[in-house]
Chains A and B, each alone.
Chain A
Amino acid sequence: MGRYLLTRILQGILVILLISLFTFAIVRLIPGDPVDLLLGEGQVPITEAQVEAIRRQWGLDRPLWEQYLIWMGKMLTGSLGTSIIRTGVPVSRMIWEAVPVTALLNLLALGIALAVAIPAGIIAGSRRNSWFDYLFTAGTTLGVAVPNFWLGLMLIVLFGVVLRWLPPFGLRSWQGYILPVAVLATEQMAVLARVMRGAMIEILAQDYIKTARSKGLSYGAILFGHAVPNALLPVVTVIGFRIAFLLSGTLIIESVFALPGLGRLLYDSVFRLDYQVAQAIVMLLSILVVVVNLLTDLTYAAIDPRLRLLARSR
């Protein structure tokens, strides 16, 4: 196990290093000049020499490899640099302000999704073709199919405009979290519930379930003693997967509900060629993905005895 862990950590470091190189290259390959964006659409009379002076301010006049080394050097000492667009503000502060919003949104949504999806998936999977199962299938299909963007706007119209129960945007109070979390949870709930149901159906058809039944174990004991723990495995994978792609869902939600989260920060910084910020966020996310993947694998190893055997036999 120790050796397995060490190999996985070394692999992770290599992956992160490669990602840093690719991220830097891709961000810098985006055509365009951030100075153009700083100047705006106005008639700012400015000469090329004066633009050079601004570029020099941000070290953008140096060769690319030098900029990469400076950036990596800073990263290793724990500094993420400063933003070009939010001039002079440390990138770490910008991320630090945005992370809690996105993290809270996702944690709440995931918590609600799990609380609803797992029991619903168990019931639907164990009572296949019942009315509950049909309702469940229709509901989850809708949940997966409805676009976040549309659902968000519809909830705003209903609860913000018609009923006036909840604020249509922003985080001025805790109520601001309700609608965005509901939208995020809807999709996650649908995905997780479908995975749970599928896994239940598959496992309930396995031989060891038949064996357990023939041994005279009660249905409840079979369900919660054998089927559910095993059916949770794919759910764990999907959760890991969702953390890796958490920004894809929150970006839209953060824009619709005007929440200052990480997704919007990344989108804005790529759009505005704010190199330092975009690079830093992609790096942090890659580290997160690598770590989550590692943890998912370790969780797997912990809850799936087959993997433990495999690791031991190596």
Chain B
Amino acid sequence: MGQQVAGSNRRGRRQFLKQGLQAGILTGTGLAALSTSGLRHSQTAQATPQQGGTMVVVGHQEVPTLSPGKAVGNVPLFVIYQLYNGLVEVDENFEVQPALAESWQISADGLTYTFKLRQGVKFHDGEDFTAEDVKYTYEFYGDPDSGSTLIGQAADIESIDIPDDYTVVFTLKQPNATFLRISANNFYIVPKHYHEEVGEEVFETQPIGTGPFKLKEWRAAEFTELEAFEEHFRGRPNIDILRQDIVPEASVRAIALETGQADSMVWPPLIEDNLRFEADTENYTTFKTPSLSVNHFPLNNNHPILSDKRVRQAMMYAFDRPRQIQDVQQGAAVLATSNLSPSLVQWYTELVTRYEYDPNKAVELLEEAGWTVGADGIREKDGQKFTFTCTTITGDQARRPQAEILQQQLRAVGIDMQLSEAPITAIQTGLRNNTVDASLYNWNYGGTNGDPDAPTTLGSDGRSNWSNFKNARVDELLDLGRKEVDPEKRAEYYREIQQIVADEVPFLFVMYWDWFTIFSSRIKGLPESALISDFLYKKCYQFWIEA
């Protein structure tokens, strides 16, 4: 019937990575990325943990809410990780670990999830944590009237039963393989007794959770200060005070780390500074991992010219992406092969159509599509010029050079790409309404929390399908993938999606930026390696400060 899953995933993932590396399956960029990037760069040895001290991290944007049902983005989530716990959690190696649930069972049909809860867990006000709190949390944030962004993730829940104080049974309307990873990790448990009494509005400014740290002071745009929770179920954290300062300016964040005013950065500074900190292994510990979001040029697939697959493929061939990685990111990125990051070892495949830089092949494809060179060097077809506009984000100094390089390279094969600028919200609305032709930014096409599901960005009716990509087979595969309980079968579906995306080129996928998470070397107790470095902050409770 049911299968015991707790802990098994961990071995599976490690085993896979190890075997993959040994067998040399992960060749080329993938191998390069995984063999070096996941490991931290530091020379210091670990010693006995010490108690006390203040750890300061700096972020770039304010912490607008402390509600676990509304917080998105690295900076607010840093605080959420410390204040609350979910039933399970996804760690820095994408492994599902027990948190408030000690173990869990998934029925063979994938419809029932039974969680056995840990006993003796306390909320910050000293009250006991029970199954009632779990049911309440899922029901509250799953209700559309709550205004929570989690409502979509609770949509598949048919009922929540609590046979006793420490057992929760979720029954789903249809199998949903993402349930454990995506929802359980995002549903951070709030105390029913307190939340019900004060209401969401008060709660989100005066929160109470089961997390290792409790709120001391919150000034949204300035700082959030947390203090160790003595009765945390994993034991009192080593660090006394955890503080997050908001510093919008990247160079000032780097200065803060350099002068010892900060111990880590939730949002990295400029690439030059990242590389400098990484090289200084004596004073800093740096984790470098490929990001989950792909740096890409969304192309509006409804555009009369860009709707032709051959045209989009030609643009990939005309585009020297390795040069972009070198010139713009100073080499700190991994070449993208499709929609999924190579960090996602379990789901990633190398076996996709590749686009080596080959302008001749681009010309061939354009000719085949009927685009011939006109008198001014720009291609034309039926009296129409091959011209479109790429709208980049206003003031985006980091990415704008990428568009300029692409513009020159496309011009070399007779394509005229104009450039303009607009705010990100305007671009996205424009892409949705077909008034913007193309753009440039980073976005997730599967992979958040290590799950490859991507209905919102790759599904035909997805809300964040910025390229207006419509493919019946992808829709079918997304549906099959979401309902498939067997991870191996699931992986097959997502590998096929990667092949289709690589072949169809709905957007020009460029690279996965290396994400740098840097710690001052006085912070100890850090994990040995990570596949996603921002999840490292979930482990703040085990860090300690060297006196």
Residues of A in contact with B (beta carbons under 8 Å apart): 30-33, 36-48, 50-51, 53-54, 57-58, 83, 85-89, 94, 97-98, 153, 156-157, 160-161, 164, 167-171, 255-258, 260, 264-265, 268, 271, 273
* B439-459 contact mask (Cβ, 8 Å, vs A): 1 or 0: 000111011100101111100
A54-B147, A86-B220, A268-B62 given; name 16 further pairs at CB < 8 Å.
A31-B423, A41-B442, A44-B150, A44-B153, A47-B152, A50-B151, A50-B152, A83-B64, A168-B252, A169-B252, A169-B255, A255-B248, A256-B249, A258-B247, A258-B248, A260-B219
List the A side residues contacting B65 at CB < 8 Å. Answer: 86-88
* B142-162 contact mask (Cβ, 8 Å, vs A): 1 or 0: 001101011111010000000
Q: Which of B201, B245, B255, B430 is in CB contact (< 8 Å) with A157?
A: B255
Contact A98 B221 (CB under 8 A): yes
Q: Can you pick out 24 interface pairs between chain A and chain B where the beta carbons lie within 8 Å of each other?
A: A31-B423, A31-B426, A32-B423, A33-B429, A37-B425, A38-B70, A39-B149, A41-B442, A45-B153, A46-B151, A86-B220, A87-B70, A153-B251, A157-B255, A161-B258, A161-B259, A164-B259, A170-B223, A255-B248, A256-B249, A258-B247, A260-B221, A260-B222, A264-B221
* B37-48 contact mask (Cβ, 8 Å, vs A): 1 or 0: 000000000000
Q: B72 at the A/B interface (Cβ < 8 Å)?
A: yes
List the B side residues contacting A265 at CB < 8 Å. Answer: 221
Contact A50 B255 (CB under 8 A): no
Could you say which of A45, A85, A255 has the most chain B C-beta atoms within 10 Å of its C-beta?
A45
Q: B383 at the A/B interface (Cβ < 8 Å)?
A: no
Complex CA gap A32/B425 in Å reads 4
| 10 nearest CB pairs, A to B | A32-B425, A40-B72, A53-B144, A46-B152, A260-B221, A57-B147, A31-B426, A88-B201, A258-B247, A260-B222
Q: Which of A43, A58, A161, A256 is in CB contact (< 8 Å) with B453?
A: A43
Complex CA gap A58/B454 in Å reads 28
Residues of B in contact with A (beta carbons under 8 Å apart): 61-62, 64-65, 67, 70, 72-73, 144-145, 147, 149-153, 155, 178, 182, 200-201, 204-205, 219-223, 245-249, 251-252, 255-256, 258-259, 261, 293, 422-426, 428-430, 442-444, 446-448, 451, 453-457, 463-464
Complex CA gap A231/B422 in Å reads 45
List the A side residues contacting B463 at CB < 8 Å. Answer: 39, 46-48, 51
Could you say which of B245, B248, B422, B455 has the most chain A C-beta atoms within 10 Å of its C-beta?
B248
* B90: min CB distance to chain A, Å: 13
Contact A30 B261 (CB under 8 A): no
Contact A87 B204 (CB under 8 A): yes
Complex CA gap A157/B255 in Å reads 8
Q: Which of B153, B204, B246 is in CB contact (< 8 Å) with A88?
A: B204
* B296: min CB distance to chain A, Å: 12
Q: Which of A46, A58, A97, A157 is in CB contact (< 8 Å) with B149?
A: A46
